[in-house]
Amino acid sequence: DAGVIQSPRHEVTEMGQEVTLRCKPISGHDYLFWYRQTMMRGLELLIYFNNNVPIDDSGMPEDRFSAKMPNASFSTLKIQPSEPRDSAVYFCASSLEVSEQFFGPGTRLTVL
């Protein structure tokens, strides 16, 4: 298996622009998680899905952030409009039921 795939690996954008991050979980996994990693706050859970349904989005910082999972093999995290304080590494992870989470390589987002 190729593991969790994220794209793009790096994204540089200007303040106010829309940013879309993409994730393909491991085939067969029924949970998908989005995390954000910053120096100040460490790793934070933003939202997670079970069988494509959002279960807990309490970690999503603002209404500017939204996430979707239209099918079992694809999820997006969108920021609109983006701000410099959104600069971080965003990780996607997937798991099979209550088991260990497998992380993707991350997307490094820089908002100028």
Name which position in 45, 66, 78, 110 contacts other proteins (CB under 8 A): 45
Pair of tokens at residue 50 = 């079970």
3-state secondary structure labels for all residues of the chain = CCCCEEECCEEEECCCCCEEEEEECCCCCCEEEEEEEECCCEEEEEEEEECCEEEECCCCCCCCEEEEEEECCEEEEEECCCCHHHCEEEEEEEECCCCCCEECCCEEEEEC
Nearest distance from residue 60's CB to other proteins, in Å?
A: 14
74 makes contact with other proteins (CB under 8 A): no
Tell me if 105 contacts other proteins by CB under 8 A: yes
Out of 29, 31, 67, 75, the only residue in the binding site for other proteins (CB under 8 A) is: 31
Question: Which of the ranges 17-25, 60-68, 79-87, 91-99 carries the binding residues for other proteins, by CB under 8 A?
Answer: 91-99
Strand-pair partners of 7: 22
- C-beta of 3 vs 16, nearer to other proteins: 3
Name the site residues for other proteins (rule: CB under 8 A).
4, 31, 33, 42-43, 45, 48, 50, 55-56, 91, 93, 95, 98, 100-106, 108
